[in-house]
């Protein structure tokens, strides 16, 4: 596989000078796909041409299957192949364009997404078309030499090289096979019905990339039952990845319409379909500002009938949008239908980002309340080509087994990896087959161990309470507070005459009560009110409120400030929040955890919010006590001793 990929990539040597390194993939990928399709069609090429001629040019997959023993859903009616094209150098460009246009319309958009006609013209202008064609014609990509699995690896290796050359992130296009194998092993292996006669299984990936997840799932299902009907369905936003994925899927015998181009979050290409298995590796931490309007409109217009009824995450990270979309694509459990299951790779942010009442928290709570989350597996770091961050696989099920209902399993697989001999981008670690089996075994065992923890779904719920304390203020009329009051926004809008009258009244009070401080608001009001009236100053209630606020300072020794009907006013400066575990009464919590320290505190129940977070790392934290001071002192003394010895040698 690597030899094929390296041989194909060697054409870059011919492109240098005419193309920049980040442009190599624009040429190599479409010609690799072209050569693969050309190789696949070669055995039946002449029979297809004759059948088409005998049938008056009326061609269909059924006719070709019957008359030319052609079992693919696409064909090419050009008289050329890549090998024969090189025999007519003078008309090379025109003949190659004729060859591309000879493909059946159901695959033409593959080459349209690659913009292959533009590439052909550009190569011709640089006098490179013959060189490139000869290079690819020399590559044997017939299925007998390179099966579909190997071809998938070749595509991935080429894309990795392309991304490396252009400083792009290969992880945006495909997921490492060891990660996919783990996801598929947990999701699909052990399906009790897969061996049944006539079994049908559908697999869906809304972020299909080059189709790696779909291919691995297909391999596992067919290994379990070669006669199973497997439907592979996906959508991809990157045009090159889409083209590669579609080409790969049709070669597997999948219907042409099973792979769609476009943004899954904006337009679900399979809006009326659900699936047995859903797999996804959405982009990590990517904002969704460009599509914010469309997503918000769907939520507003469709609510719970749409995909995003549970809530919307902050615009800086759309990971949870993909999670909600994936859930919407899982089969609902019915007597005639197996419930859908899903596996999705996410970074750490969806576990805990967003406090109580936030979109992220509401989405997590919804997933757990519906009891769809089976397990979360923490993967080792440095597993992906484009990032070394911590990642997690979420396993979801629309109909959990009885023993898992109301529970969630957390598996810490962060230490289950082997170091790679040679890093590929950011990928330095890999999960071996043995380690994959160990992780899958821990999942299926569903036991409490050092690396596996079992929780009730409600263990991740909490309430955020707002703890209030009474407002205590002292009041005074002095130069500092007068200036502060007159500069306040509400009072600064007074007319010049009104503000002058107010200043005169306040200056009079300052002179009349020099240095005096009032610790009771009602008493202070009885002093200020008459003074303002005597000065002819008439303030509105909001203006009076501002005046008293600016003439006041916090004072723990002052009387409690009360408002209308004697209600105690809270201090915004002393306000605090507490997260209360779901199974604890908030008032009991206040009495036990707060009032012993602040006896005058109370809960503003109108501000209580429900929240949900999954603090994965905290549950696996192991305290390591520090070394004894004597041991540390001994080590320091040894180091200092060596330093002193060297200094003595220098002086000598």
Give the model confidence (pLDDT) of 452-509 as tens digits.
Answer: 999 999 999 999 999 999 999 999 999 999 999 999 999 999 998 999 999 999 999 9
Helix axes 212-224, 177-187, angle to 10 degrees: 50
pLDDT over 90 at 633, yes or no? no
pLDDT over 50 at 1, yes or no? no
- The whole-angstrom separation of Cα 609 and Cα 361 is 10
Are 6 and 28 in contact by the 8 Å Cβ rule? The answer is no
Per-residue pLDDT tens digits for 39-62: 999 999 999 999 999 998 888 989
pLDDT band at 149 (very low <50, low <70, confident <90, very high): confident
Per-residue pLDDT tens digits for 250-282: 888 888 899 999 999 999 999 989 999 999 999
- The whole-angstrom separation of Cα 106 and Cα 73 is 8
**Distance in angstroms between the alpha carbons of the first and the last residue of the chain:** 65
- The whole-angstrom separation of Cα 253 and Cα 70 is 12
Where exactly are the structural domains of the chain?
A: 1-168, 473-566
127-153 CB burial, b ≥16 within 10 A, e <16: ebbeebbebbbebebeeeebebeebbb
- Bridge-based pairing state of the strands 259-261 and 229-236: parallel
pLDDT over 70 at 126, yes or no? yes
Per-residue pLDDT tens digits for 174-197: 688 899 999 999 998 878 889 899
What does DSSP assign to residue 398?
Answer: S
Task: Provide the edge-to-edge strand list for the sheet that holds 407-412.
Answer: 259-261, 229-236, 200-205, 277-280, 341-347, 391-397, 373-378, 407-412, 452-456
What are the residues whose beta carbons fall under 8 Å from the beta carbon of 94, sequence distance 6 or more? Answer: none
pLDDT band at 75 (very low <50, low <70, confident <90, very high): very high
Indicate the pTM of the whole model.
Answer: 0.86
Average of per-residue pLDDT values in the chain: 91
Tokens of 324: 């909600």
Per-residue pLDDT tens digits for 575-584: 999 999 999 9
Predicted local confidence at residue 111, as pLDDT = 93
Predicted local confidence at residue 40, as pLDDT = 93
pLDDT band at 346 (very low <50, low <70, confident <90, very high): very high
Question: What's 214-241 look like in SS3?
Answer: HHHHHHHHHHHCCCCEEEEEEEECCHHH
- The whole-angstrom separation of Cα 321 and Cα 307 is 8
pLDDT band at 167 (very low <50, low <70, confident <90, very high): low
Per-residue pLDDT tens digits for 292-331: 999 999 999 999 999 999 999 999 999 999 999 999 999 9
What does DSSP assign to residue 333?
Answer: P
Tokens of 84: 């024969």
Predicted local confidence at residue 296, as pLDDT = 96
- The whole-angstrom separation of Cα 96 and Cα 524 is 94
Predicted local confidence at residue 173, as pLDDT = 52
pLDDT over 70 at 565, yes or no? yes
pLDDT band at 165 (very low <50, low <70, confident <90, very high): low
Average the pLDDT over each of 92-96, 167-171, 327-331, 540-544 and give the range with the smallest value: 167-171
């Amino acid at each position: 596989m690597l030899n094929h990929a390296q041989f194909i990539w060697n054409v870059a040597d011919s492109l240098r000078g005419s193309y920049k390194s980040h442009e190599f993939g624009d040429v190599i990928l479409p010609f690799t796909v072209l050569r693969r399709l050309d190789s696949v069609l070669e055995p039946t090429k002449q029979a297809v041409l004759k059948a088409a001629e005998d049938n008056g040019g009326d061609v269909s997959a059924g006719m070709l299957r019957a008359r030319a023993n052609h079992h693919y859903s696409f064909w090419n009616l050009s008289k050329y192949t890549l090998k024969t094209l090189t025999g007519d150098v003078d008309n090379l460009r025109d003949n190659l364009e004729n060859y591309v246009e000879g493909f059946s319309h159901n695959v033409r958009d593959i080459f349209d997404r690659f913009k292959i006609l533009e590439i052909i013209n550009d190569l011709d202008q640089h006098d490179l078309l013959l060189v490139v064609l000869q290079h690819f014609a020399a590559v044997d990509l017939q299925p007998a030499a390179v099966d579909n699995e190997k071809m998938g690896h070749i595509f991935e290796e080429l894309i990795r090289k392309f991304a490396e050359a252009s400083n792009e992130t290969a992880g945006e296009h495909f997921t490492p096979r060891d990660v996919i194998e783990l996801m598929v092993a947990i999701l699909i292996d052990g399906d009790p019905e897969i061996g049944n006669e006539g079994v049908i299984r559908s697999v869906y990936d809304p972020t299909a990339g080059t189709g790696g997840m779909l291919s691995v799932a297909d391999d596992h299902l067919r290994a379990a039952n070669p006669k199973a009907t497997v439907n592979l369905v996906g959508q991809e936003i990157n045009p090159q990845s889409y083209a590669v994925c579609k080409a790969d899927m049709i070669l597997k015998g999948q219907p042409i319409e099973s792979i769609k181009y476009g943004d899954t979050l904006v337009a679900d290409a399979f809006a009326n379909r659900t699936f047995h298995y859903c797999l996804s590796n959405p982009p990590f931490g990517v904002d969704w500002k460009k599509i914010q309007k469309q997503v918000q409109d769907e939520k507003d217009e469709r609510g719970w009938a749409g995909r995003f009824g549970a809530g919307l995450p902050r615009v800086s990270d759309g990971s949870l949008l993909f999670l909600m979309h994936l859930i919407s694509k899982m089969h609902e459990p019915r007597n005639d239908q197996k419930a859908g299951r899903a596996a999705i790779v996410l970074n750490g942010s969806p576990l805990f980002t967003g406090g109580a009442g936030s979109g992220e928290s509401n989405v997590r709570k919804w997933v757990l309340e519906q009891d769809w989350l089976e397990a979360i597996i923490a993967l080792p770091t440095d597993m992906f080509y484009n990032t070394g961050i911590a990642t997690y696989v979420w396993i979801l099920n629309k109909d959990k087994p009885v023993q898992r209902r109301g529970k969630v399993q957390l598996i810490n697989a962060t230490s289950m990896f082997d170091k790679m001999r040679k890093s590929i981008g950011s990928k330095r670690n890999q999960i071996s087959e043995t380690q994959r089996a160990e992780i899958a075994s821990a999942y299926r065992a569903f036991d409490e161990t050092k690396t596996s923890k079992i929780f009730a779904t409600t263990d991740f719920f909490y309430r955020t309470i707002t703890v209030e304390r009474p407002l205590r203020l002292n009041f005074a009329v002095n130069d500092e507070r007068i200036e502060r009051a007159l500069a306040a926004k509400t009072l600064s809008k007074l007319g010049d005459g009104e503000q002058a009258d107010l200043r005169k009244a306040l200056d009079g009070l300052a002179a009349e009560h020099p240095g005096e401080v009032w610790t009771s608001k009602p008493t202070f009001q009885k002093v200020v009110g008459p003074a303002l009236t005597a000065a002819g100053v008439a303030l509105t209630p909001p203006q009076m409120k501002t005046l008293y606020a600016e003439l006041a300072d916090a004072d723990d020794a002052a009387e409690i400030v009360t408002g209308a009907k004697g209600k105690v006013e809270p201090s915004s400066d002393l306000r605090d929040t507490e997260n209360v575990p779901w199974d604890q009464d908030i008032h009991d919590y206040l009495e036990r955890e707060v009032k012993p320290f602040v006896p005058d505190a109370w809960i503003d129940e109108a501000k209580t919010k429900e929240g949900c977070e999954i603090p994965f790392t905290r549950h696996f934290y192991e305290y390591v006590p520090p070394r004894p001071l004597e041991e540390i002192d001994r080590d320091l003394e040894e180091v200092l001793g060596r330093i002193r010895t060297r200094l003595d040698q220098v002086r000598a």
